Amino acid sequence: MKAALFLALALASLAPTAAETAESKVTPVQKVIQLLQGMLEKGKKEKHDEEVQFSAFKQFCDDTKAEKTRLIAEANELIAKLKADIEKYTQDAAQLAEEIKQHEEDIATWNGDIKAATKVRDGERADYDITHKDYSESIDALQRAIAVLKEQGYDRKQASLLQLSSMTLIPQDAKRTIDAFLAQDPDAGLEVSAPEANAYEFQSHGIIEMLEKLLDKFIDERTTLEKEEMNSQHAFDMLLQDLTAQIAQATQDRDEKTATRAKKLQAKAEAEAQLLDTIASRDADQKYLDDLTALCAQKASDFASRQELRAGEIEAIEKAIEIISGAAVAGNAEKHLPTLLQTSASSLAQLRADGRSPAQARVTQYLQDQARVLDSRVLSALAVRVSDSPFKKVIKMIKELIVRLMEEANQEAEHKVWCDEQLSVNEQTRKEKTEAVETLRAEIDELEASIAQLAEQIAELAKAIAALDAAMAKATALRQAEKAKNVETIKDAQDAQTAVAQAIVVLKEFYEKAGDATALVQQEPPVIFDSPYKGMQSENGGVIGFLEVIESDFARLQSETEAAEAASQKEYDEFMTDSSVDKATKVKDSEHKTAKKQDQEQTLASKNEDVVNEQKELDAALAYFDKLKPSCVDSHVSYEDRVGRRKEEIQSLQEALKILNGEDIP
């Protein structure tokens, strides 16, 4: 602005000289005013364009900040929801784990109750079998004894009564009565009269009546024992049925809750992966919002400063136009400059003699001296022309040269301003584009490295997922094979127990009958035997013992196989649950990384296009700088030197005019 005002004042000081030229249609004052008006219009237009540009930028800032703020708020709400969901899934999984543990403890307790009840029932059954056998044997013996007594056979009576006396269930008083009856001598009865025989016969009837009462009593007690056994067996069956139903229900509940817990853990893993993605997205949006807010604030501050400077510049230009257009400058120029020209012309005309004068010689010498001092070809050439030209023509020539030098100075000043502006803009453009290209290339390198890393991670996840699938498939195949084998083993053990139990019953029934038979016959054994033959009692005990051991072994095999099957199924379920959760997590992570990789690949493609465009703009700026260098940079003489030399040349020409006008110069 100061340079423009200085130029206007310099041109105004030369107005009389320019007005004297007949060819000039526009005075220097008018030219300066036109120049200032052009600058004013340009300044207002640029100020308005800058306002429009900043308005669009401000709208972008407001819209983007509102959008990012909304996204961040939504992300925070989603993060809070996901954290609450994760906490709930965690609590639900923990609660389900406790309930599953309780079910397993209940199942173990009820299985223990079944085993304990079965053991008690087996003991009760064994006691019942022994007692029932004793009652049955006693009842059978009583029935036979009564039948024998009624047949009046002494020997058979004696044998039957001896057998009864040896039985444990016969009361002591009955045994004493039997022993007393047996102690009578039947032969003595032959030596006495018939009434004594009748007395013996009467005693037999008393024994028979006693035995019949014992028989009725034993039959009643055996019946009562059988009813109690039936009630105990029924109670045991009901207890077993109830415990089995509870175990089945608890097992079903445990399996359902195990599946539900797996779903909860999978949902938790998915929520955690989504939470990480949401937090990363929110943090990226927050960083972008912070950077944008700082950038918008900086641009707003810069815009306010630029608008203030532009307003001040426009005000100064308007003030300069007002001053130059006023009477003090333009009015006085029109009023006084023509008279001055006329006076100067008549004075110079009086001094002309033969077209030459002493002043002209002095001017020629002065111009030659100044040409040597300033090394100015312009002054040297002018000195030659001044010495050979008429006086009036010399004055006109000097004035025209001064005007031309002033115009060149103005043009060069304008060119200098234009060069400075273009060089500054070009330098800024080259700097910005260079930084942009470097930044983009750095971002491209970073994106390429990130994409390669993501591809490697995705491949590793794919391998891990494939390994999990293979492990789960193998575990399923092994579990199915093991389960089939366990089911077969359990069935075989149950069948074996049933068969062994049947064999034991058959053997026991046989040897019980065999024992009864030999006991009743009571034949005298041959001399080679030490006792009556009652079957293979030793082998019986050994075989039945072995069978019972085998039965218990099969029962233990069934129990252990069932326990192993339950443990293996539980271990398999836990493995499949953990593997499913791990697989779901890895699949989610792979999907997230794949989506991120695709986004980065799209960003990379965009960055590659941007770097090509930025490189083109940088190349264009470099090419334009090469065009500017010949006229704005590569000059051998600096602008300041050219301005100084031209100023000294103009001053020398003005001094020459003074010499021609007869004025003394210092």
pLDDT along the chain (666 residues), means of 10: 40 43 50 67 81 84 89 93 92 93 93 93 92 87 80 59 69 72 54 44 69 87 92 92 93 92 90 91 90 87 80 71 59 44 41 50 67 67 61 65 71 72 82 88 90 91 91 91 88 76 69 52 40 44 60 79 88 89 89 90 90 88 80 62 71 71 61
User: Within 10 A of 26 (CB to CB), how many other CB atoms are there?
Assistant: 10
- Alpha-carbon Rg of the chain, whole angstroms? 66
> pTM here?
0.36
Structure tokens belonging to residue 156:
């058979």
User: How long is the chain?
Assistant: 666
pLDDT (tens digit, 9 = 90+) per residue, 294-323? 888 888 888 887 788 777 767 766 766 666
Alpha-carbon distances of 498 from 116, 164, 243, 640, rounded to whole Å: 20, 37, 22, 124
What pLDDT score does 539 carry?
A: 43
Both tokens of 345, joined, read: 């012309």
The residue assigned the tokens 């030098």 is 405
Sequence-separated contacts (24+) of 55-64 with Cβ below 8 Å: 57/296, 57/299, 58/296, 58/300, 61/292, 61/296, 61/299, 64/292
Q: What is the pLDDT of residue 102?
A: 94
- If one looks up domain 433-523+534-633 in CATH, what number appears? 1.10.287
**Residue spans per domain, the chain:** 433-523+534-633
Q: What is the pLDDT of residue 148?
A: 76
Torsion angles phi and psi, residue 356, rounded to 5: -140, 160
Q: Please give the Cα distance from 272 to 275 (Å, whole number).
A: 5
The Cα–Cα gap between 556 and 550 comes to: 10
What is the reported pLDDT for 528? 38
Distance CA 274, CA 486 (A): 43
Alpha-carbon span 84 to 61, nearest angstrom: 34
The pair phi, psi for residue 474, each rounded to 5°, is -65, -45
Measured in degrees and rounded to the nearest 5, phi and psi for residue 353 equal: -145, 115
- What whole-number distance in Å separates Cα of residue 128 and Cα of residue 130? 5
- Which residue shows structure tokens 């077209």? 355
Please list, residue by residue across 425-438, b when 16 or more beta carbons sit within 10 angstroms of its beta carbon and e when fewer do: ebeebbeebeebbe
pLDDT at 231: 94
